Chains A and B, each alone.
Chain A
Amino acid sequence: MKAVVLVFPGSNCDRDMAVALKAVGADVTMVWHKDSALPDGVDLVAVPGGFSFGDYLRCGAIAAQSPISRELKAHVDRGGYALGVCNGFQVLTETGILPGALVQNASTKFICKTSTLRVETSNSDFTARYNAGAEIDIPIAHHEGNYRVDDAGLAKLHGEERVAFRYTDTPNGALDDIAGILSENRRVLGMMPHPERAADVALGLTDGSPLFQSLAEALVAA
């Protein structure tokens, strides 16, 4: 698997993401947001967590206009894989790659804790190594993780089984307990919880590892 991790000013989970990808054998390149091209033959573009551009205007809004975000869109349009975590999920919605938006947590508080998620589908190259219905512990750390989408958008997500993860006890007010969603072609996953923070025994949590293993298995031949 050839992976790229995008780096914006204010990204702070970029290296964690790289470590998690390398742990499953990925060849990882860090790409600065001002770059106007992705390396040739990239399978996966990871958009990491953090506070790109200080969360100015709206979380992810400025990053979505960075030169590399055009390349990200082109990569996805070609059928390439993308994973957006936390601020990365916000960037994916701001670019229009994934539907909906992430607004402030209902409590108005920044929430940093381990959340329990239910895996809603194993039918994706991100979740193939999980059993649907399994409950996994993945940390969250965000202030704007409250997923919103209009009724038609929600019906579409349900109808196409594109909700990948739901919170078992929603911490942020997210509509329908949604923690992560897939694109129409199931090759883009956006999620607020941080699987890269739960992918190493030394970190105490490993429930994120199957996500990266699933990707590695799917993309080994790609």
Chain B
Amino acid sequence: MRAVVTVNLKTGVLDPQGEAIKSALGSMGFAGVEGVRQGKVIELDLAEGTTEAQVTEMCEKLLANTVIESYRVEMGA
């Protein structure tokens, strides 16, 4: 089974990479990009029976730094 963890900077935490991407898109002529936030996606291949609670614990302890980041767990088949 698989789980996908998406980690993003919390709202209000400056995202210099997102700002750089936004500025690049603007200079390429893409109008109307009002905000860019860059995060990361972590795909986990898990043994059967691994619970969402265990993945959440992984997020809390390592995958995300909850001082600055939020995360979302999607448990897949």
**Cβ-Cβ contact count across A and B, 8 Å cutoff:** 39
Q: Which of A57, A103, A107 contacts B68 (CB 8 A)?
A: A103
* Contact (Cβ within 8 A) A57 B63: yes
* Contact (Cβ within 8 A) B17 A104: yes
* A93 contacts the other chain (CB 8 A): yes
* B65 contacts the other chain (CB 8 A): yes
Bound-state CA distance A99–B67 (Å) is: 9
* Contact (Cβ within 8 A) B67 A173: no
1/0 contact string of B2-37 vs chain A (CB within 8 Å)? 000000010001101101100000000000000000
CB distance from B67 to the nearest CB of A (A): 4
A contacts with B: majority SS: loop
1/0 contact string of A77-116 vs chain B (CB within 8 Å)? 0000000000000000110000111011111100000000
Chain A residue with Cβ nearest B61: A65
Chain B residue with Cβ nearest A62: B62
* Contact (Cβ within 8 A) A100 B67: yes
A residues in contact with B63, CB < 8 Å: 57
* Contact (Cβ within 8 A) A65 B67: no
* A33 contacts the other chain (CB 8 A): no
A residues in contact with B17, CB < 8 Å: 104, 108
Count of chain A residues with a beta carbon within 8 Å of a chain B beta carbon: 20
Q: Which of B13, B16, B61 contacts A105 (CB 8 A)?
A: B16
Would you list which residues of chain B between 26 and 77 have a CB under 8 Å from chain A? 61-63, 65, 67-68
Between A and B, 30 residue pairs with Cβ closer than 8 Å are A57-B63, A58-B65, A61-B62, A61-B65, A65-B61, A93-B67, A94-B65, A99-B67, A100-B67, A101-B65, A101-B67, A101-B68, A103-B9, A103-B13, A103-B14, A103-B16, A104-B16, A104-B17, A105-B16, A106-B16, A107-B16, A108-B19, A146-B14, A146-B16, A148-B14, A148-B68, A149-B67, A150-B67, A173-B14, A173-B16
For the complex of A and B, 6 pairs with smallest distance between CB atoms = A101-B67, A108-B16, A101-B68, A104-B16, A108-B20, A106-B16
Beyond A94-B65, A106-B16, list 4 extra A-B contacts (CB 8 Å): A65-B61, A103-B14, A106-B14, A148-B14
A residues adjacent to B (C-beta < 8 A): 57-58, 61, 65, 93-94, 99-101, 103-108, 146, 148-150, 173
B residues adjacent to A (C-beta < 8 A): 9, 13-14, 16-17, 19-20, 61-63, 65, 67-68
